[in-house]
């Protein structure tokens, strides 16, 4: 099965898509303020933020294993993108979404978003480090669901980008 790249519209269309993403962020913030619940678009926003900041090529939705590719030294690196809204950037807690080791990917990027859904940091961990972390004995959530704490993920990752 091939993973078609998301076809970007012409320049004027890109500006429209960018504006739609900004509108979606505002709607998500307002929704959370009114209901106390997330709107459920954190993953999509994280993908858009990572692509815009790091120049990734996004792939079609629901592509098994990875969300984007990035060319490095002529090789397409398969990137799985995870996003998390963090209420207090000085106290980062919570979990990274499930990582399925049965799926193809080369790196996992964790996009940390502020309460306005703007990225403030992107961490990246290579697959071997992720595999070692997830398969380490001890935690049912980690071993069975592929879910790790953000501090654990940061410990094996490198900071790819941070907001000035």
Q: What per-residue confidence (pLDDT) applies to 6?
A: 62
**Quick check: helix, strand or coil at residue 55?**
coil
Q: What per-residue confidence (pLDDT) applies to 5?
A: 64
- The predicted-structure confidence for 92-112, as pLDDT tens digits, reads as follows 999 999 999 999 999 999 999
Rg (C-alpha) for the chain, rounded Å, is 16
Number of residues that make up the chain:
164
In sequence order, which residues have a C-beta less than 8 Å from that of residue 93 and are 6 or more positions away? 149, 150, 151
Short-list 46, 37, 40, 21, CA closest to 114 = 46
Q: What per-residue confidence (pLDDT) applies to 1?
A: 47
Q: Which residues of the chain have pLDDT under 70?
A: 1-13, 140-141
Task: State the pTM of this model.
Answer: 0.90
Q: Which domains does the chain have, with CATH numbers?
A: 42-162 (3.40.210.10)
């Amino acid at each position: 099965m091939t993973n078609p790249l998301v076809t970007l519209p012409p320049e004027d269309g890109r500006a429209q898509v960018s504006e739609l993403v900004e509108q979606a962020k505002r709607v998500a913030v307002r929704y959370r303020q009114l209901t106390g619940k997330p709107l459920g678009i954190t993953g999509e926003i994280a993908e858009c933020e990572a692509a815009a900041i790091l120049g990734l090529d996004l792939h079609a939705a629901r592509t098994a294993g990875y969300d984007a590719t990035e060319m490095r030294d002529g090789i397409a690196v398969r990137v799985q993108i995870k996003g998390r809204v963090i209420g207090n950037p000085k106290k980062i807690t919570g979990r990274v979404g499930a990582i399925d080791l049965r799926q193809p990917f080369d790196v996992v990027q964790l996009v940390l978003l502020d309460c306005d859904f703007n990225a403030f940091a992107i961490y990246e961990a290579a697959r071997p480090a992720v595999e070692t972390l997830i398969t380490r004995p001890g935690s049912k959530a980690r071993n069975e669901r592929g879910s790790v704490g953000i501090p654990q993920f940061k410990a094996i990752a490198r900071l790819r980008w941070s907001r000035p």
